[in-house]
Structure 1
């Protein structure tokens, strides 16, 4: 292809590229796809690569829906957190149906007939399939205070109170409380503790790891010996010891923040070492030396030049660290050393399954473990997708 722009004119660099690097006049115009690729930023290229990872995209959507749900837990839950149905203690889950005797009715449930077994002294529930009870949507139900701002009673779904007094999709517990509602409310605590904990962990990890890798010397030795000391301690016994050390007189809110701080303080050493290793290699690069010669202060060099160079690695690390926070809270609350009622989290709900007899007779009490599994898997798949998208060699 000959140069049609004239001997004294050069084509715009953003629209042309050389076919032969030894011939300055051998150029051809970019195709729209090539121009879009060569002009894309690092973040755009990461987004394009991430979108090709379908499992990671689906996991991201699931996580987004979970975190949106904690903003409207009161609306999504069929009942209030502490609403008790004394007539339906340990009621089994109710199935949702659409057809009754071949006729389409819409979402409905069948009612229960409760009876007391004289031999075992247990409540038994028989499903009455003779009459369907349609469910209502966007309906008035239990009153609640939405985020402490105003009173409301709007719910996504509720039973027809005139015909059916109950709707327990996942059953009830020993006090007759709806398990689905408590799982929805518990998501607010379990998911937020991961975000707060990772904020503490990342702040410490980036600051201490950055100082250690940038300055080196005795500062690096002190920080690294501290990290080695923390890493040498068994994690679970250390969690148990620190959680047991929280004063029993603390309110549930203080216990929540105390547990969050403990999880954050024990999770930063791994990130700090990763940041240090990156800084040790990046501080020898030409752009870092140029910034130092221009008089840039260490704070600016770290914040404006070094950290953005591996921000993608930090994002992937965060997506993998959050589920460990959630699992830590769940494990501690399950063992009775974490959060306590009236605060409700997935770990607190699973604490009721410590009695094997309860699990054998009422297996629906272990349903709170399902969202834990979904969240942990979603975060791991999301982390895999982000890591692949951030890898320049893929």
Structure 2
């Protein structure tokens, strides 16, 4: 008796042995490939470009800092040039046409009389005194960056005329020229102060975040003590401790160091919080097993991973430095003449009666407002662009 075995049925799923066709794989477009291979800094730049307000603010700040390189050339007058005939003269208006004819940029000269009742000089534009503005001309002599003597200016008053586009002060000095000179001091003091606080914040915050434990507790208590003091009175106390006999340059660097020593705490906390999270990552453990020192791990592996965030934080800290210098100089505890800064220029606006008579003395506050707003807008744009979750 023969037994018949059941026939073997084919498997429901068979393996396709057809050769692989690379054309069937979805290829990345050039734009997608450029995005996937872009570095972190390039992606930050792409996102920043879409923030129009931040880009415009960056251009404004770039122009302001570029002007500090050639302040002597841009200013119509030297920083201490005085005109005793035009004390507290109001701003002159630029005109293009005189009696229906195109003349070019010019201003009308002033005629003045002394009001004997209130003892105030009253200036009135005189249409018979047409004073064309000269460009790329020779004017007051100056020392370019204190090194080279020259007398070239971008714009100068007419021969024997005046050019007070923002008025003059109590000594007859052109306010616009002094504001241009003050830009160099007020803007650089913010950069140097942030550089000091940046180094302190990274070093101290990095140590606290990497080691943790009692080191972190000690640093955090120190930060809390510093932040518990009122900021402005502490600035005033430290600035008042600077000897009045110091050279103005030493006063400048002293104020810079004071601002930097009091502004590092916020950045240190940001660095500490980032490092507390990153020190648990696998690449940190791998670096430790390979024998890398803590300084190398922090400097070469941890900090670069969020450096864009640190730069955005530093950008937002610069306005605080500028406002701090302006406030101290305004109160007479910061920079002092002969150094010229926006805060020093505003000291003449302390008396409300003087401001009521000569309101143009408040004009130095305009570059402060423009600079602070520009830094805030740029910092917001950088912070959004550096955020990996956006």
Give yes or no for contact 2:349–2:355 (8 Å, CA) kept in 1.
yes
Alignment correspondent of 2:262: 266
Query: Which moved further from structure 2: 73-82 or 123-132?
Result: 123-132
State the alpha-carbon separation in 2 of the partners of residues 94 and 132 from structure 1: 12
State the alpha-carbon separation in 2 of the partners of residues 78 and 264 from structure 1: 34
C-alpha displacement of 1:153: 0.6
Match of 2:114 among 116, 125, 130: 116
Structure 1 residue 246 and structure 2 residue 246: aligned? no
Alignment correspondent of 1:88: 86
Where in structure 2 are there 5+ consecutive unaligned residues?
Answer: 1-17
C-alpha displacement of 1:26: 4.6
The equivalences for 1:195-214 within 5 A come to: 195-214=191-210
State the alpha-carbon separation in 2 of the partners of residues 131 and 349 from structure 1: 30
Alignment correspondent of 1:59: 57
C-alpha displacement of 1:160: 1.4
Alignment correspondent of 1:323: 319
Instruction: State the SS of the aligned residue for 1:57.
Output: helix
C-alpha displacement of 1:224: 1.1
Match of 2:233 among 237, 248, 260: 237
State the alpha-carbon separation in 2 of the partners of residues 299 and 137 from structure 1: 55
Structure 1 residue runs of 4 or more that deviate by more than 4 Å after TM superposition:
6-9
State the alpha-carbon separation in 2 of the partners of residues 141 and 130 from structure 1: 24
The root-mean-square deviation of aligned C-alpha atoms, in Å, is: 1.3
State the alpha-carbon separation in 1 of the partners of residues 209 and 221 from structure 2: 14
Give yes or no for contact 2:329–2:336 (8 Å, CA) kept in 1.
yes
The CA deviation string for residues 173-200 of structure 1, in whole angstroms up to 9 with x for no partner, is: 0000000000000111110100110011
Q: Which structure would you say has the larger Rg?
A: 2
State the alpha-carbon separation in 2 of the partners of residues 297 and 366 from structure 1: 54
Structure 1 residue 277 and structure 2 residue 252: aligned? no
Give the TM-score taking structure 1 as reference length. Answer: 0.92
Structure 1 residue 176 and structure 2 residue 205: aligned? no
C-alpha displacement of 1:170: 0.1
Query: Which moved further from structure 2: 342-351 or 131-140?
Result: 131-140
C-alpha displacement of 1:150: 1.3
Instruction: State the SS of the aligned residue for 2:26.
Output: strand
Match of 1:256 among 252, 255, 270: 252
State the alpha-carbon separation in 2 of the partners of residues 243 and 301 from structure 1: 38
Alignment correspondent of 1:337: 333
Match of 2:155 among 154, 157, 160: 157
Structure 1 residue 220 and structure 2 residue 216: aligned? yes
The CA deviation string for residues 112-156 of structure 1, in whole angstroms up to 9 with x for no partner, is: 001111222211111012342211101000111111221111100
C-alpha displacement of 1:172: 0.2
Query: Which moved further from structure 2: 278-287 or 145-154?
Result: 145-154
Equivalenced residue count is 373
Instruction: State the SS of the aligned residue for 2:133.
Output: strand
Alignment correspondent of 1:143: 141
Alignment correspondent of 2:345: 349
Give yes or no for contact 2:131–2:161 (8 Å, CA) kept in 1.
no
Where in structure 1 are there 5+ consecutive unaligned residues?
Answer: 1-5, 12-24
Give the TM-score taking structure 2 as reference length. Answer: 0.93
C-alpha displacement of 1:28: 2.1
The CA deviation string for residues 56-97 of structure 1, in whole angstroms up to 9 with x for no partner, is: 000000000000111100000000000000000000000011
State the alpha-carbon separation in 2 of the partners of residues 116 and 233 from structure 1: 50
C-alpha displacement of 1:308: 0.7
C-alpha displacement of 1:165: 2.3
